[in-house]
């Protein structure tokens, strides 16, 4: 059942809606999409993914013990914005542990094992990481309904009557999810895009493709993707068609920045993707950038830091449009709206109202504009 959009007729929100439409009609568009944007395709939110992985019976007993240890380490924690630790938190800690074990191994320490509840070798930790990645992939790699994502792509890019995208500067998609909903929707709607790979369904990492001029979209998979893998001897990811028998997929590549930089965070493509993000969010003189954030709970401190720095270093040329299911700005959004240096650059469409600089318009009833499917309808012109 479609969400009731009658709240849009409230005169109090006419200006915020008009301003949103004007902002999203300008050039320099980018989107930061989190797990909430994949929920309408029946893919799990981060906390649901965490529960599914923790209950996965295919994990080895060693990996299950390591995960239980990591879960206990987070007991009583107040993780950023959500207050709930997730599988990404556990994996970041596991990557940190791997970094320590690797350093001991490289230094030829007599005992390279780490003491958690019991001793674990470097290989034990590596195996745990790969098993968790595979468990995540199995939760996400399934049949999905992408009609809403297709509507979103059509609304963002605008389609002429011939069905071809209207000519405009390339739109940037910073995707925090491991699924391929955005890439699939772009392809189905015949929107020319690049995602860092040359080739096709089987391809190799080639960051130069982001510089192509004859494209309508760039997709940056900030946390990696379920269709990325490493072949033996590679240091950069490949995308391999799954039915190819003669090639063994060495490991799934998903990228999480960790407090101590284990090998995955040192490698491209993470560094190249973040470099692209920094450039895009700091537009040159006489240009602007508009970053719309949807489906993201601001639970990734590394991403939050990049956004915060971009706001402060963009010389007022970056505008952030953020949608949140919270009634009022919390966490990072609250910090921005209280910061006189950047507050005028941030427009917050919350469940409980609209917040921009010193302006606050509240609602006694919930405003579902923060939902990806509702936002898509707004983009499509429904009022």
* Whether 158 contacts 165, CB under 8 Å: yes
Tokens representing residue 315 in the block: 């010389």
pLDDT digits (tens, 9 = 90+) for 106-149: 999 988 899 998 999 999 999 999 999 999 999 998 899 999 99
| Entry pTM | 0.91
End-to-end CA distance of the chain: 17
Contacts of residue 284, defined as CB under 8 A and 6 or more positions apart, other chains included, come to: none
pLDDT digits (tens, 9 = 90+) for 263-307: 444 457 888 999 999 999 999 999 999 999 999 999 888 899 999
- Separation of alpha carbons 359 and 357, rounded Å: 5
Flag whether pLDDT at 330 surpasses 90: yes
- Give the model's pLDDT for residue 84: 78
Closest residue by Cα to residue 328 from 294, 362, 368: 362
Coil/strand/helix, residue 41: helix
- Give the model's pLDDT for residue 269: 87
Assign 160 a pLDDT band (cuts: 50, 70, 90). very low
Flag whether pLDDT at 371 surpasses 50: yes
- Give the model's pLDDT for residue 249: 62
Flag whether pLDDT at 383 surpasses 90: no
- Give the model's pLDDT for residue 248: 66
338-364: average pLDDT: 96
53-68: average pLDDT: 95
342-364: average pLDDT: 96
Assign 1 a pLDDT band (cuts: 50, 70, 90). low
| Residue scoring higher pLDDT (81 or 87) | 87
When the pLDDT of each residue in the chain is averaged and rounded to a whole number, the result is 89
Flag whether pLDDT at 229 surpasses 60: yes
- Give the model's pLDDT for residue 144: 94
Closest residue by Cα to residue 33 from 182, 208, 192: 182
Of all residues in the chain, what percent carry a pLDDT higher than 90?
68
322-342: average pLDDT: 96
- Give the model's pLDDT for residue 162: 47
Flag whether pLDDT at 80 surpasses 70: no
The domains of the chain, with CATH numbers, are 6-44+146-196+217-223+255-379 (3.40.50.1220), 46-140 (no CATH)
* Whether 90 contacts 129, CB under 8 Å: no
């Amino acid at each position: 059942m479609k969400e009731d959009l009658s709240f849009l007729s409230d005169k109090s929100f006419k200006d915020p809606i008009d301003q949103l439409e004007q902002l999203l009609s300008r050039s320099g568009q980018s989107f930061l999409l989190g797990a909430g944007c994949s929920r309408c395709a029946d893919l799990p939110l981060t906390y649901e993914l965490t529960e599914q992985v923790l209950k996965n019976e295919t994990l080895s007993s060693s990996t299950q013990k390591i995960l239980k240890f990591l879960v206990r380490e987070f007991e009583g924690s107040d993780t950023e914005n959500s207050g709930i630790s997730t599988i990404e938190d556990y994996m970041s800690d596991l990557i940190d542990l791997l970094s320590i074990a690797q350093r001991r191994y490289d230094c030829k320490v007599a005992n390279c094992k780490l003491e958690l509840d019991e001793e674990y070798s470097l290989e034990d930790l590596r195996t745990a990481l790969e098993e968790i990645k595979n468990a995540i992939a199995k939760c996400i790699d399934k049949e999905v309904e992408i009609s809403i994502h297709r509507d979103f792509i059509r609304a963002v890019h605008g389609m002429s009557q011939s069905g071809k995208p209207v000519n405009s500067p390339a739109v940037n998609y910073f995707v925090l999810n491991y699924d391929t909903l955005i890439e699939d929707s772009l392809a189905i709607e015949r929107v020319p895009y690049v995602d860092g790979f040359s080739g096709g369904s089987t391809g190799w990492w080639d960051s130069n493709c982001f510089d192509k001029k004859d494209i309508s979209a760039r997709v940056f998979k900030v946390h990696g993707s379920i269709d990325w893998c490493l072949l033996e001897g590679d240091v950069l990811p490949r995308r391999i068609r799954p039915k190819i028998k003669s090639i063994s997929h060495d490991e799934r590549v998903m990228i999480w920045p960790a407090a101590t930089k284990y090998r995955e965070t040192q490698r491209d493509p993470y560094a190249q993707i973040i470099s692209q993000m920094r450039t895009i969010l700091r537009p040159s003189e006489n240009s602007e950038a508009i970053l719309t954030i949807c489906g993201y709970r601001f639970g990734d401190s590394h991403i939050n830091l990049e956004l915060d720095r971009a706001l402060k270093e963009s010389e007022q040329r970056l505008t952030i449009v953020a949608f949140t299911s919270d009634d009022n700005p919390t966490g990072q959004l609250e910090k921005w709206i209280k910061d006189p240096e950047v507050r005028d650059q941030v427009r917050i469409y919350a469940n409980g109202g609209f917040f921009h600089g010193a302006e606050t318009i509240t609602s006694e009833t919930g405003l579902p504009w923060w939902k990806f499917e509702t936002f898509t309808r707004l983009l499509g012109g429904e009022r």
